[in-house]
Amino acid sequence: MKDQSRHCLVLPDIHQNTAWAEAILQKEAFRADRIVILGDYFDPKVESAADVAETCHYLSQLEERYPAASFAFLVGNHDLPYLYDLQQNLSPQDAALNPYFNGAYNAYLSESIRSHLSPQFLKQLQPFAFAQGWILSHAGLHPRHFGSLDPSAPQALDTLHAQLTAHVHQLPGEKPDALAAIGTARGGRDPHGGIAWQDWFQEFEDSLEWPQIVGHTLIPEPNQKGRSWNLDTKNGSYGILQAGRLEIRRHPKE
């Protein structure tokens, strides 16, 4: 995978805290030529979070408001059930049919997301991104996610990205393990979590050719494993990639 960014801004899980995201963008976006958001746009974690409709409008307008940077919108485990509802046109009464269910999922919110989130945003969702020699994803890329592919083989990363992107754009009824399996560390039955569900402490490995930046597993301070980092401090941290080096910055929680 190729990347020509010089200044990449990385925002972990927003969880509808658009005021927090906007404060960082106003401070940092003018320097960035690429902005990567690690997913989990929905299901608020703080009282000051915006409602679903406001969050959808905010996400839908980001590229227009910050045109100097290219955006990469990644998908998180909290986004998957709503995405499935939209793709399958499920009603709230069909919530039991959603295989991507998580504990915070509220099927009634899918109607608001369908009404207010732009189709263009949905088309751009990705499973992971590559920037300056780093893999960026919601919960982490594991060697198991490559399946029969050799992670060290040329084009293996591109092939996996294409496979998982196809799943994101049309979520199957049977969850793809590499994308959405829930490992035993998170109360699931699968031996290992997918790229949207992998647990940082019990499942993530810094064993690939590339270092990684993830969110997903909530921690009080940014945490490092080998060369890789988890930045999900409940709207307290974000990252800057320049010349292949990660700088972690703090921002007051809104």
pLDDT exceeds cutoff 80 at 222: yes
Contact partners, residue 73, CB within 8 Å, separation at least 6: 37, 39, 59, 121, 124, 125, 126
**Mean predicted confidence (pLDDT) in 17-46:** 96
pLDDT computed for residue 48 by the predictor: 85
CA separation for the pair 121, 113 (Å, rounded): 11
Average pLDDT, the chain: 95
pLDDT exceeds cutoff 60 at 253: no
Report the number of distinct structural domains present in the chain: 1
Phi, psi of 71 (to 5 degrees): -105, 145
- Give me 42's structure tokens: 């929905």
Strand order in the sheet with 223-225: 128-131, 134-137, 212-214, 228-230, 223-225
**Residue 198 within a domain:** no
**Residue 176 within a domain:** yes
**Residue 136 within a domain:** yes
**Mean predicted confidence (pLDDT) in 118-145:** 97
Residue type, 85: D
Question: Three-state SS across 90-156?
Answer: CCHHHHHHCCCCCCCCCCCHHHHHHHHCCHHHHHCEECEEEECCEEEECCCCCHHHHCCCCCCCCCH
> What percent of the chain has a predicted confidence (pLDDT) above 70?
99
What residues does 183 pair with on adjacent strands? 190
* CB atoms near residue 34 (< 10 Å): 20
Residue type, 82: Y
Domain containing 112 equals: 7-191+236-250
pLDDT computed for residue 3 by the predictor: 84
**Mean predicted confidence (pLDDT) in 47-64:** 96
**Residue 63 within a domain:** yes
pLDDT computed for residue 252 by the predictor: 62
pLDDT exceeds cutoff 90 at 4: no
Q: What is the rounded (10 degree) CA torsion for 15, 197, 141, 52?
A: -20
**Mean predicted confidence (pLDDT) in 64-86:** 97
What residues does 137 pair with on adjacent strands? 128
Q: Which of 44-48, 76-80, 143-147 shows the lowest mean pLDDT across its residues?
A: 44-48
**Residue 207 within a domain:** no
Residue 136 · residue 213 · CB < 8 Å:
yes
Q: 140-196, pLDDT tens digit by residue?
A: 999 999 999 999 998 999 999 999 999 999 999 999 999 999 999 999 999 999 999
- The verdict on pTM exceeding 0.95 is yes
**Residue 243 within a domain:** yes
pLDDT computed for residue 254 by the predictor: 46
**Residue 68 within a domain:** yes
**Residue 35 within a domain:** yes
